[in-house]
Amino acid sequence: MSQVIEGEFYLTVDEAADRLGKSPETVRKWIRGNVRSMTGRLPARKMGFQYFIREVDVEAEAVRKEKGL
């Protein structure tokens, strides 16, 4: 479920994956930097056991994906 943190909208890993057309595990790898060419590709906040990604960062990644970057 989306969250508002410090005035910004954050998405869960599942929500981000859905918007990006990727699996939740791929999104987690992008967050953790476990993909060699994707290190730090998607910044996130960890609260408890769950990551939250700013909606603007997910949208920026979607634009990069559309442009083939």
Q: What is the domain-level CATH number for residue 28?
A: 1.10.1660
Does 33 score more than 70 pLDDT? yes
40: left (phi over 0), alpha (psi -120 to 50) or beta: left
Mean pLDDT of 24-49: 80
User: What range does the domain containing 16 cover?
Assistant: 3-67
Using the predicted structure, report yes or no on whether residue 7 has a pLDDT greater than 90: no
Predicted local confidence at residue 66, as pLDDT: 80
pLDDT band at residue 35 under the 50/70/90 scheme? low
Provide the domain count of the chain.
1
Q: Flag whether pLDDT at 48 surpasses 80.
A: yes
